[in-house]
Amino acid sequence: MSRLLVRGFTISLDGYGAGPRQSMEAPLGVGGEKLHDWLVSTQTFRRMHGGDAGGTTGIDEDFAARSMTGFGAWILGRNMFAPSRGPWPDDSWRGWWGENPPYHAPTFVLTHYPRPPLEMEGGTVFHFVTDGIHAALERARAAAGSQDIRLLGGAETIRQYLRARLVDEMQFAVSPVLLGSGEHLLGSLDLPALGYRCTKGVPSEKAVHYTVTRDEG
């Protein structure tokens, strides 16, 4: 069965996956872009965004590459797809990534409001799921076949899947940035009680990459 994996998610030193006051101008919240200093200079990130063939190698590149390969489907929350809230004003919003998003696979967007599937270039098709996290995971597994599924975020979406013990493994980076407020990833979650344990920590020059694994049973 496909595994549900968190890969490449970044939080601040005080635990926030996005800064406060998210908006069209600041989709990661105020100060949120600083979280990803470890990522934006890597070869993987530059290739994804049409940059030159350069970029850093090493630990950060290893984790960046791992976060983008081998996935047969993706799941993300509404807030990661669009800046709007409530009913869709129309179908004109097509995501933050242009006409060729980096997913290149079926991508399931959690929302309370229905919308027709959105087919993009490169094999990405956005499906809008209104009947909850379990339904989204079931559809993602059917689409992924033998491949794994990446749970992209944001923080509250990951929290919902962790609370339900549906995440098989979570790799996240802790960036040496203090945001003070925003979208907290782990607050009030008792991960040991939910059956999760930290199995690895790898420091790089710009972050520390942690692996949290769900115990079987």
Q: What percent of the chain has pLDDT over 70?
A: 98
* Count of structural domains, the chain: 1
Q: Confidence band (pLDDT; 50, 70, 90) for 216?
A: confident
Local structure of residue 45 (DSSP, 8 states): H
Q: Which of 167, 163, 161 is nearest to 193 (CA)?
A: 163
* Integer-rounded Cα radius of gyration of the chain: 17
Q: Rounded mean pLDDT of 141-162?
A: 97
| pLDDT per position as a tens digit, 191-215 | 999 999 999 999 999 999 999 999 9
Closest alpha carbon to 61 in 82, 32, 76, 40: 40
CA 167 → CA 74, 111, 133, 186, distances in Å? 13, 19, 11, 14
Q: pLDDT category, 84, cuts 50, 70, 90?
A: confident
User: Is residue 49 over pLDDT 80?
Assistant: no
Q: Is the pLDDT of residue 131 over 90?
A: yes
Report the predicted TM-score, pTM, of the whole model to 2 decimal places.
0.94
CATH number, position 143? 3.40.430.10
| Strand ranges inside 30-168, DSSP E | 71-77, 106-110, 118-119, 125-129, 148-153
Token pair for residue 51? 């940059």
Q: 136 is in which domain, residue-wise?
A: 4-214
pLDDT value, residue 25: 85
What is the spatial distance between Cα 23 and Cα 169, in angstroms, rounded to a whole number? 30
pLDDT band for 47, please (50, 70, 90 cuts).
confident
Residue 62 has pLDDT above 70, yes or no: yes
